[in-house]
């Protein structure tokens, strides 16, 4: 059993939890993820490691309450326990060998998985320009944390309640058009449509662009094939070959199709859970 040491409500739907998992914390590196189960018979969900603390023996996760399991997780409080917490999984992100300028694009809850990567770039001496966006100001997460590890931080909201009124890709385009600033690498983490747009935007400029994928996963160890994704015409397993891949090589069309496979089952599970909650169960 894994204890929830801290819980913070970041927005109406985004929550942060610090979990006591010393063995995971000892080995965790930026770019890696964990798989947890709230209850022994529950669904396994992958979540990127947003931060780790070897001294405290803790891992920080940030999640959006979007389906049954994330809503169930959100009902737990500091002092409660998770049934399983496995990791670190996936390949750590590779850092560029020479210092340079990196643009980090984080969309919505994707700001959580991009934060440890930006922190690692910053600590490696890279100049990081971050662009973060959310549907509305209240859903914007980790603004102060991102500012602390970025040379510049640009904020966007779809409804104009904070920063630029529009998508993160608008700001990225102005940077791509600015020939006075050389860009060595771009990393984008967020919803699939956002990562796909960023990949299409940067392709003509020939700038190395990375994305962190979160396809459907089950075992997280390369055995079940659920997380398969086509990269450069080859089948890769996101859990062991990724989750970070070359954005220009990812088949986003197929990935988008596969991500919708269980939509109706997910909807049914959520409705059942919400019904149970209303009737006093659900945990």
Under the binding rule (CB under 6 A), the answer on residue 72 touching ligand NAD is no
- Least Å distance, CB 165 to ligand FES, is 38
Q: Binding ligand NAD by CB under 6 A: which of 110, 163, 220, 242? A: 110
Under the binding rule (CB under 6 A), the answer on residue 158 touching ligand NAD is yes
Q: Binding ligand FES by CB under 6 A: which of 203, 225, 254, 268? A: 225
Q: Binding ligand FES by CB under 6 A: which of 224, 269, 270, 277? A: 224
- Least Å distance, CB 220 to ligand FES, is 5
Under the binding rule (CB under 6 A), the answer on residue 237 touching ligand FES is yes
Under the binding rule (CB under 6 A), the answer on residue 89 touching ligand FES is no
What does the DSSP assignment read for the chain?
-EEEEEEEE-SSSEEEEEEE-HHHHHH--TT-EEEEESSTTS--EEEE--EEETTTTEEEEEEE--SHHHHHHHT--TT-EESEEEEEESPPPPPPSS--EEEEEEEGGGHHHHHHHHHHHHHTT-EEEEEEEESSGGG---HHHHHHT-SEEEEEETTSSSSEES-HHHHHHHHHH-TTS---EEEEES-HHHHHHHHHHHGGGT--EEEE-----SSSSSSS-TTEEEETTEEEEHHHH-SEEEGGGB-HHHHHHHHTTTHHHHHHHHHHHHHHHHTT---
Q: Binding ligand NAD by CB under 6 A: which of 45, 82, 109, 255? A: 109
Q: 163 near 36, Cβ under 8 Å?
A: no
Under the binding rule (CB under 6 A), the answer on residue 239 touching ligand FES is yes
The binder of 133, among ligand NAD, ligand FES, none, by C-beta within 5 to 8 A per type, is: ligand NAD
Nearer to ligand FES, 148 or 223 (CB): 223
Under the binding rule (CB under 6 A), the answer on residue 259 touching ligand FES is no
Nearer to ligand NAD, 88 or 133 (CB): 133
Judged by the rule CB under 6 A, the positions of this chain that interact with ligand NAD are: 48, 64, 107-110, 113, 133-135, 156, 158, 167-169, 189-191, 193-194, 197, 212-214
Judged by the rule CB under 6 A, the positions of this chain that interact with ligand FES are: 217-220, 222-227, 237, 239
């Amino acid at each position: 059993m894994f204890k929830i040491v801290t819980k913070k409500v970041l927005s109406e739907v985004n929550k942060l939890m610090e979990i006591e998992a010393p063995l995971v914390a000892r080995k965790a590196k930026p770019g890696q993820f964990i798989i947890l189960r709230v209850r022994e018979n529950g669904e396994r969900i992958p979540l990127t490691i947003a931060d780790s603390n070897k001294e405290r023996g803790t891992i920080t996760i940030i999640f959006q309450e979007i389906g049954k399991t994330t809503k169930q997780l959100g009902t737990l409080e500091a002092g409660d326990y998770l049934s399983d917490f496995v990791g670190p999984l996936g390949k750590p992100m590779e850092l560029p060998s020479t210092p340079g300028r990196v643009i980090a694009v984080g969309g919505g809850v994707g700001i959580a998985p991009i934060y440890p990567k930006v922190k690692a770039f910053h600590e490696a001496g890279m100049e990081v320009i971050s662009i973060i966006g959310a549907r509305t100001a209240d859903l914007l997460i980790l603004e102060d944390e991102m500012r602390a590890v970025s040379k510049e931080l640009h904020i966007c909201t779809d409804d104009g309640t904070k920063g630029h009124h529009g998508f993160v890709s608008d700001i990225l385009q102005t940077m791509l058009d600015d020939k006075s600033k050389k860009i060595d690498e771009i990393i984008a983490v967020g919803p699939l449509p956002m990562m796909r747009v960023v990949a299409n935007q940067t392709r003509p400029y020939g700038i190395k662009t990375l994305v962190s994928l979160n396809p459907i996963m089950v075992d997280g160890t390369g055995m079940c094939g659920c997380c398969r994704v086509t990269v450069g015409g080859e089948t890769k397993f996101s859990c062991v070959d990724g989750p970070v891949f070359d954005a220009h090589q990812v088949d986003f069309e197929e990935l988008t199709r596969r991500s919708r496979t269980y939509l109706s089952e997910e909807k049914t599970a959520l409705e059942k859970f919400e019904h149970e909650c209303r009737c006093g169960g659900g945990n």
